[in-house]
Structure 1
Amino acid sequence: MTFLEKIKPHLISNDVLIQEIVLHALHDYPNVPEEWTIELLKEAFKNKDKLSSILIYIENMKINEDAVKVLLENIPLMDKTKIHLAVNLLNRMDPELALKYKEPLQGYISEDSWSLYELIMNGTEDEVFKEFLKTINTLDHAETFQHPIYIKAKKLAACIVQNGWITEDEIEVILQKELNEQWFTYNGILTVYMIGLMKIEKHIPLVASFLDRDDDILLEEVASALIGFQSDAVVDAVGPYLKKSNSIIFACSVIENIKSDQAIQVLREAYQYSDELEDQDLLIEALCHQLSKEALPEISDHMKKEYTSSLVDIEQVVYSYYSILGVQHPELMDWKLAALEREIEFRNASKQGGSPQNGPILKENKVGRNDPCPCGSGKKYKKCCGK
């Protein structure tokens, strides 16, 4: 059975622990069927306890016409404190689709966005490039990271690629210039994004080498670009970075989202090589997200170690892995109870306005290691303030 075939029966689960892990496993995976997005959206609006987590975790999935209809039907009925989660999804749809539904979307999408969509759909090459360079300049000179402006730059970059307005040779020139600098500019970071869109395979080893860099915005684009290739060439290039503590977080996020025998083998080898518990946690999480029984020896042995993980909700991850695969284990209920106890602790602390020892609180929900960081960076907590 494929990864998707194994996870499909659990896409909508009454078990909150399994539901969260399913969402985590699908969050960065690029081949989620569009009909799954619709099913998850309907479940979110049907089950209010799942609303926030589902809307957060489907942000990378394709928002097609049916998804827009579900959102437009349900947003007026939402708690006002959560509407921004649905609007975020609307802001991620393709400009062409947004313009088709411009009238009902008027109240949810800003005037600046409508101008951007018109430019993307009808602008000339010179007009789009001029706005792209202007947006990059704004990002480079801002005192802090401006997430909405960065998303605008990515939409313009995607337009440039889709229209064939940039060549592989031009990509090469930009890369070589960036390699001579200590820090990538936003032009360089967005060039990595373009490499992923264009699927330029010759750059896989070079892009993988950026995993050693200390720039989380760059690293997010590196991981996303490499995942998009869905290739064992990526597994081979990224494998060595699983054995370095400074690069393991993003390297794991790449390999866990390439569902192949080679990916599983590389993760197992890295686990056997590692002697750091936190690194092992990340590797076990990645192996669990592969949903392969081949990893049972490493996962079973890892759970014999007694300690508290700071990066991974390890009991929840492993409990869900065994449950989804239908594999029995004498400690399965112990793992479930430990994970539920932590979940209850977070929720109780949230209601009281406090923060439990294991992590901060984001509104009514706990901040999971894979959740958006409360600092507003747009990155996952475990890749930002949770590191």
Structure 2
Amino acid sequence: MTFLEKIQPHLISDDLLIQETVLRSIHDYPNLPVEWTNELLREAFKNKEKQPSIFVYIDHQSFNDESIKILTDNIPGVDQSNLPLALSLLGQIEPELALKNKDQLEPFMTNDVWPFYELLVNGTKEEVYPKFLEAVNALDQADSFQPEEYIKAKKLAACIVNKGWITEDEIDRELQKELQKDWFSFNGILTVFMIGLLKLEKYIPTLSRLLDREDDTLLEEVSAALICFQSDEVVKEVKPYLLKDESAIYATSIVENIKSDLAVQVLKDAYHQVEELDSQDVLIEALCHQFSVEALPEIKDHMENEYFSGLVDMEHTVYSYYTILGLEHPDLEKWRQAALGRELEFRGTSEESSEGVGSPFRIDNKVGRNDPCSCGSGKKYKKCCGK
């Protein structure tokens, strides 16, 4: 069975631990069917307690006409606390699709969006390229990272790729120039983004070597580009970086999200080579999110360690792994109770009132490794304050 076939029966779950694990496992996975996205959206609007988690974890996925209808029909009824997350999803809609559904979307989007989308869809190369260079220059000149400007620059870069306005020779020249620097410019970072969009496999070794860099924005784009290939060549190139402290977090995330037998074996090998328990925890979490029975010996042995992990809710992760694969373990219920107990402790409520679908699904003062970091950086906790 494929990764998607294994998790499909659990895509919508009344078990909050399983639901959370499924959402985390698909967040960076690039091939989620849009029908699944729509099913999750419907679930979120039907069950408001699930809204924060679902809105956060589907922000990388694709949308279609049905997605837009679900969003625009239901956003008016969303609580103020969840409204920013819901509205942020509208910004992920492809410009051409957004223009097609402008009448539905217009009440929820600012007026300046539409001229920009018109430029992206109908603009010429001579019109788009100056705007791209202007956005890149603004990012390079800013005193701090500007998320909105960066998103705008990425949309312009995607337009340039989709219109076929950049060649491999141009990418080669830009990448070679950036490799000579200690720090990539935003033009270089967006070149990495373009490589991912174009799926240019010849750059896999070069991108993998960038995992030694320290720029998180660059590393996020490198990781996303390498994951999108879904290639064992990526696994082979990234393998050495699993064992380096400075690159292990990003390398593990990449291999975790490439669903193949080789990826499982490489994670298993790395687990046996690292000595720090925290490093083993991260690798076990990655193995659990592969949902492969081949990882069972390592996962089973790891759970015999009696200690508390500061990085991974191990009982939650392993309980979900066993349950989704339909495996038995004498400690399964103990793990469930331990993980659920931590959830209930943070909620400040009783297990009886929280077992059902109507229980609070996300808590504000508990940050999982795959959750958005509470510092506001926009990165996952494990790639930010949890490093």
What is the TM-score when the length of structure 2 is the normalising length? Answer: 0.95
1:298 has 2:298 as partner: yes
Q: CA deviation at 1:136?
A: 0.7
Aligned to 2:309: 309
CA distance in 2, matches of 1:257, 1:364: 26
Does the 8 Å contact 1:288/1:317 carry over to 2?
Answer: yes
Matched, 1:75 2:89: no
Q: 1:365 to 1:107 in 2, by over 3 A?
A: farther
Give the drift of 1:113.
2.0
Distance 1:75 1:289 in 2: 31
Q: Deviations over 1:152-187 (max 9, x none)?
A: 111100000011111111111111111111111111
Corresponding residue pairs, total: 375
- The residue correspondences of 1:263-274 to structure 2 (distance < 5 A) are 263-274=263-274
Q: Output one character per residue of 1:202-261: Cα deviation in whole Å (capped at 9) or x when no partner.
A: 110010111111111111100100000011110101111111121111111111111111
Residue 142 of structure 1: aligned partner = 142
Question: 1:45, 1:74 within 8 Å by CA — same for their partners in 2?
Answer: yes
The 8 Å contact of residues 11 and 19 in structure 2, kept in 1 or not, is answered as yes
Q: Within 2, Cα distance between the matches of 1:12 and 1:282?
A: 25
Match of 1:172 in 2: 172
Identical-residue share of aligned pairs (%): 62
Q: Is the 8 A contact 2:139 2:146 kept in 1?
A: yes
Relative contact order higher in (CA < 8 Å, ≥ 6 apart): 2
CA distance in 1, matches of 2:63, 2:148: 18
Structure 1: distance between partners of 2:131 and 2:346: 44
- Which residue in 2 is equivalent to 1:355? none
Aligned counterpart, 2:247:
247
Unaligned segments of structure 1, at least 5 residues: 350-361
Please state if 1:278 is matched with 2:278: yes
TM-score (norm 1): 0.95
Match of 1:323 in 2: 323
Name the structure 1 match of 2:357. Answer: none
| Distance verdict in 2 for CA 1:240–1:128, change over 3 Å | same
Indicate whether 1:104 and 2:104 are aligned: yes
Superposition RMSD in Å:
1.3
Asked if the contact 2:204/2:233 (under 8 Å) is kept, the reply is yes
Listed one character per residue, the Cα deviations across residues 345-384 of structure 1 (whole Å, up to 9, x for unaligned) are 22239xxxxxxxxxxxx97463222111122221101111
Write the distance in 2 (CA, Å) between the matches of 1:138 and 1:103.
32
Q: Following TM superposition, by how much is the alpha carbon of 1:122 offset from its aligned partner in structure 2, in angstroms?
A: 1.2
How far is 1:196 from its partner? 0.5
Q: Which amino acid aligns with 2:321?
A: Y
Task: Give matches, 1:1-387, under 5 Å.
Answer: 1-348=1-348, 364=364, 366-387=366-387
Would the alpha carbon gap of residues 19 and 363 (structure 1) be closer, same or farther in structure 2, given more than 3 Å must change? closer
Structure 1 residue 107, shift from structure 2 partner: 2.6
Alpha-carbon distance in 2 for matches of 1:315, 1:147: 35
Q: Say whether the 8 Å CA contact 2:346–2:363 is kept in structure 1.
A: no
Q: Which amino acid aligns with 1:2?
A: T
Does the CA contact (< 8 Å) of 2:281 and 2:311 recur in 1?
A: yes
Where structure 2 has 5 or more consecutive residues not aligned to the other structure, the ranges are 350-361
Kindly provide the amino acid, as one letter, of the partner of residue 202 in structure 2.
K
User: Is the 1:288–1:321 contact (alpha carbons within 8 Å) kept by the matching residues of 2?
Assistant: yes
Q: Is the 8 A contact 1:347 1:364 kept in 2?
A: no
Residue 16 of structure 1 deviates from its aligned partner by 0.3
3-state SS of the aligned residue for 1:386?
coil
Q: Is the 8 A contact 2:120 2:159 kept in 1?
A: yes
